[in-house]
Amino acid sequence: MTNSAVTQSSNYFDLQGLDQLRQKAQGNSKESIREVANQFESMFASMLIKSMRQANEAFETDSPFNNKDTKFYTDMQDKQLALDISRHGSLGLADALVRQLDPTSIAGPKSVPQDEMVMPNSETSKMMDLNKALAAVDLNKPDKMQPSLPAFNQPVINTAKPVAELESRVENKPFTDQKSFIETLMPYAKKAAKALGISPEVLVAQSALETGWGKKVINNSDNQSSFNLFNIKAHRSWQGDKVAKDSLEVENGIGVKRRSDFRAYDNYEQSFADYGKFISTNQRYQEALQQGTNADRYIEEIQKAGYATDPQYADKIKQIMNNESFKQAVAEGELNG
């Protein structure tokens, strides 16, 4: 068996090491990328040292050591020095070349400390550990990400009342609990879901995840609600109002804080209506709409299409929908009209 390891030249006169490295580079081996990059950095360092030597030649005219022999050995010493510089990565050029030629060989960016991670409209929430198993959601307990909430079974708004009356009661008031969130938004969700041909339950669950059950709806600078239940961003095509807020994006498995513009509406009904328009008019979500009322498949396709950067986005929404308390609240809403 032949030895496939790359032999890096340890000194300027190691011709055998240089020859082995040249053979590896010709074979386009990933193993040789680091060594080749180091040798390139040593060549660059050698050029720098040579330029500095030439800049000082004017001061060596009368020196007794300024002769052909001393210049020969000085040149060899400079080349060895350049090689040593590259082996220790002093210039950083080799690292840049490796990142360009083989990004997988370089460690990923350092994650931002959890204490600095914030979701929209929140200064105290911490980033969720993406590698940690999801715990079961108990809707009967206060949301741990929120200030203490009332019990799940407290009195709620009756959805049998006209939508106009519901708007006047809830548009400027916080949701009392998770059950009131479901029953208040279900009429809007049904209207949007009917137009999309999907299940309304998945829209309520998605808005619950995006806003922390209505407690993290983005506010503007005057602390007025944007009514954006789905955290849809305001891109160039958006002609309406918008609110700038920090948001947490997952990039290459790492949470990164970004400043983004989000759409703002006059009420929650507009938020659901715009969500429906956003999904139906974007070609990338057409596969999701093909799933119809299969809520699990719909939200899986939404994630695949790039709606959110959280790799567990679909699983979190399905966990909410599959919770017995959520199902019970939805069923009670159906019975009440």
Annotated catalytic residue 222? no
Q: Which residue has the higher pLDDT, 103 or 259?
A: 259
Confidence of residue 150 (pLDDT cuts 50, 70, 90): very low
Q: What is the mean pLDDT of residues 255-266?
A: 85
pLDDT (0 to 100) of residue 5? 42
204 sits in the region (left: phi over 0; alpha: psi -120 to 50; else beta) called: alpha
How many CB atoms lie under 10 A from the CB of residue 151?
Answer: 12
The chain-wide mean pLDDT, for the chain, equals 74
- Asked if 253 and 130 count as a contact pair (C-beta separation under 8 A), the reply is yes
Which of 68 and 297 is assigned the larger pLDDT?
A: 297
> Which pLDDT value is given to residue 105?
60
Summarize the confidence of residues 234-245 as an average pLDDT. 87
Domains of the chain: 15-105 (no CATH), 114-335 (1.10.530.10)
Q: What is the pLDDT of residues 135-149, one digit of tens each?
A: 555 555 444 444 333
Query: Does pLDDT of 130 surpass 90?
Result: no
Residue 272 has a pLDDT of 96
Q: What pLDDT band is residue 6 in, cutting at 50, 70 and 90?
A: very low
* Catalytically annotated residue among 31, 165, 249, 324: 249
The phi-psi region of residue 258 (left if phi > 0; otherwise alpha if psi is between -120 and 50; otherwise beta) is beta
Stretch 196-207: mean pLDDT = 95
Q: Report the pLDDT value the prediction gives residue 187, as an integer from 0 to 100.
A: 93
* Residue listed under structure tokens 């119809």: 292
Judged against a pLDDT cut of 50, whether residue 154 lies above it is answered with no
Checking if the pLDDT of 156 tops 80, the result is no
pLDDT at residue 84 in the model? 75
Grade residue 297 by pLDDT with cuts at 50, 70 and 90: very high
115 is catalytic: no
Does residue 329 have a pLDDT over 90? no
Q: 101-115, 188-202, 298-312: which range is least confident on average? A: 101-115
Query: Are 82 and 42 contacting, i.e. CB atoms less than 8 angstroms apart?
Result: yes
The residue annotated as part of the active site, out of 143, 274, 300, 301, is 274
Assess whether pLDDT exceeds 90 at residue 126: no
